[in-house]
């Protein structure tokens, strides 16, 4: 399809055409095409429009783009909205083909966000259920690699999978299962070579959880308490902090998006 045909459809609000616009870098000013920041901003602009037009791929890509950024409250809450929409459609059986993968990814990320509660509402009960559902639904989806299982393992290891409590032995056992799956999933011939360090860290975390279970069973019954409530709150605040460098990056992204919106507004978008 020619770019003029895509643009005409996009201006009429067609979700597929709006999504296609995100990959049409040839329309960008020549000086911006090789700039990774400008290209990312360009894609986000069209992903958001396509997502609001109901395109499932765009919802998934835009939401994941938002959470890949710094822990910005506005972005994370917006991402949660799109993940919620995808999960609703997935559960209702409205997604098919590749869009099913977007539904499982949405379950995964929404579950993580609900368990963590950083700048978003925390609901560990629902979050952990979504993570379990995402795991069940990964069958046949090879896109879900070692990082997927590592992230779920971390949630159980840190006690985020249950409301207001440190991890139980059951949680630590789940953490071990997921971390072990992450290690086994890593393929040095296919996966990112930089993942080796990530996997070594996962192996170390795995051994720590095994020792924690042993210590818990011997010394503390069925619960493990590593940090006081004030220490846990301080740790959560630390994770939400934005460094000066990260803040400058956020500001640069916003400035680039503002420039793009102004230019496209002049062109009738």
Question: Would 120 be classed as within a structural domain?
Answer: no
Question: Would 80 be classed as within a structural domain?
Answer: no
**pLDDT number for residue 84:** 97
Question: Would 119 be classed as within a structural domain?
Answer: no
**pLDDT number for residue 224:** 42
Closest CA to 174 of 154, 196, 203, 144: 154
What is the spatial distance between Cα 212 and Cα 173, in angstroms, rounded to a whole number? 10
Question: Would 265 be classed as within a structural domain?
Answer: no
**pLDDT number for residue 120:** 81
| H helix intervals, the chain | 3-11, 15-21, 36-52, 56-67, 73-91, 98-116, 124-136, 146-157, 169-185, 195-215, 229-240, 244-266
**pLDDT number for residue 241:** 64
* Tokens read off for 99: 């869009």
Query: Which residue range is the domain that position 149 belongs to?
Result: 145-241
- Number of domains the chain is built from: 1
Question: Would 228 be classed as within a structural domain?
Answer: yes
Question: Would 64 be classed as within a structural domain?
Answer: no
What is the spatial distance between Cα 67 and Cα 75, in angstroms, rounded to a whole number? 7
Question: Would 109 be classed as within a structural domain?
Answer: no
Q: In the chain, which residues have pLDDT < 70?
A: 70-71, 139-143, 164-165, 191-195, 214-229, 231-243
The pLDDT tens digits of the residues spanning 6-24 come to 999 999 999 999 999 999 9
φ, ψ of residue 119 in degrees (nearest 5)? 65, 10
**pLDDT number for residue 203:** 81
Question: Would 133 be classed as within a structural domain?
Answer: no
Quote the pTM value.
0.81
**pLDDT number for residue 80:** 95
């Amino acid at each position: 399809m020619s770019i003029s045909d895509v643009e005409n459809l996009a201006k009429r609000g067609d979700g597929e055409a709006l999504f296609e616009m995100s990959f049409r870098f040839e329309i960008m000013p020549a000086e911006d095409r090789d700039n990774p920041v400008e290209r990312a901003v360009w894609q986000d602009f069209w992903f958001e429009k396509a997502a609001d037009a109901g395109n499932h791929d765009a919802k998934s890509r835009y939401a994941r783009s938002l959470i890949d950024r710094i822990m910005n409250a506005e972005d994370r809450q917006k991402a949660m909205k799109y993940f919620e929409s995808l999960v609703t459609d997935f559960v209702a059986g409205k997604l098919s083909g590749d869009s099913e993968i977007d539904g499982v990814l949405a379950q995964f990320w929404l579950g993580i966000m609900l368990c963590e509660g950083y700048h978003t509402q925390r609901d560990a009960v629902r979050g952990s259920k979504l993570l379990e559902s995402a795991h069940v639904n990964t069958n046949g989806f090879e896109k879900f690699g070692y990082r997927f299982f590592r992230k779920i393992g971390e949630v159980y290891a840190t006690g985020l999978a249950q409301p207001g409590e440190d991890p139980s032995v059951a949680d630590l056992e789940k953490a071990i299962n997921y971390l072990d799956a992450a290690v086994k999933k890593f393929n040095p011939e296919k996966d990112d070579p930089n993942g080796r360090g990530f996997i070594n860290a996962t192996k170390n975390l795995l051994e720590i959880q095994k020792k924690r279970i042993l210590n818990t069973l011997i010394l503390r019954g069925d619960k493990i308490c590593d940090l006081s409530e004030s220490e846990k709150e301080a740790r959560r605040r630390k994770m939400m902090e934005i460094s000066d460098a990260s803040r400058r990056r956020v500001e640069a992204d916003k400035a680039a998006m503002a420039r793009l919106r102004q230019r496209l507004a002049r062109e009738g978008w």
